[in-house]
Structure 1
Amino acid sequence: MPHTDGLGLTLLLHVDDTPGLQIRKGGRWFPVRPLPGAFVVNVADILEVLTNGAYRSVEHRVIPDAERARTTVVIFQEAFVGGMVAPLPELVNGGEARYRSIGIEEYIKGNLGALADGTRFIDKLRT
C-alpha cells in the first residue's frame, strides 16, 4: 500500500538485490534499484514538518517479487524538539509556518490513527 513514513527518517538496508521498492514522483512510480550493503534514506513526515516543507516526505510502496524473497533491514528515527513537532523557527524565515505545532504524544496517536485510515496525519497539521 502506498504511504509515507510518520517519523523523522527511515533508513533501509537492502540485504539482497531483489527489487520491489518504488517511490512516487510527479504522479509516476519509479523503482529503487537495490544495492546490497547501501542505505536508502527516506525523509519522513516529521522531518517535513520540522523543515516547514523544505524536505518532503517520500511516498513509497513495495511490489513483491513472485519469484524471490526480499530482505531489508529498516530503522525508523524520530525527530522532534522539546517534545513538540513543529516547524523550526529558523526555517520559517519570517514567513508563515505551513504546519501547526503539536506535542509528540498527540502526533504519534494521530499518526497511528491516520495510518489505519490510509491517510497522512500531517495533512491535518497544515495551516
Structure 2
Amino acid sequence: MPSDPSVLIRGESSPSAPPPASVIIPNWNGLRLLRPCLDALRRQTLPGCEVIVVENASTDGSREALAAEYPEVRVLAQERNLGFAAGCNVGIRAARGRAIVLLNNDVEVAPDWLAELTAALERHPEAGAVASRMM
C-alpha cells in the first residue's frame, strides 16, 4: 500500500515474478472511451500483464464502473485531476512490470500490440523506449 493516503489501490497482489509489462492509463471523465480501451487490452495475446488506471477524480462514474466491470485492473484513485503527465508518474511509481507502457484512454489496440512492443524491447536491449505506429 502506498504511503500517500490519498491514493487507493485496488487489485493489488504479490506475484512471484514481475509481469512482462505494466500498462498505465490516466483517466478523467473518460468512461465512454475507457471501456473500449480496456476491452481491447483484455484481448491481448501476451498473458500476465498488469493494467493500471490512474483515476483522476472523475465525476462520470468511471471509478464505480472500473470496480464493477474490470476487477483485474489496478485502480489508483486520486483526490483531484493530476493531468496526463503527473497521472502517468503515479502509475509508474506503482507499476511492477518489466516494461512500462503509457496509454491514452481513447486508444484501442490490436490483440498482438503488447506482445510486439515487448518483443521489440527484447530484440533491442540497447533501446530505452519503443513506440507503436499510430493509425
| Higher Rg of the two aligned structures | 1
- Give me the TM-score of the superposition, normalised by structure 2: 0.27
Report which of the two has the higher share of helix.
2
- Give me the TM-score of the superposition, normalised by structure 1: 0.28
Report which of the two has the higher share of strand.
1
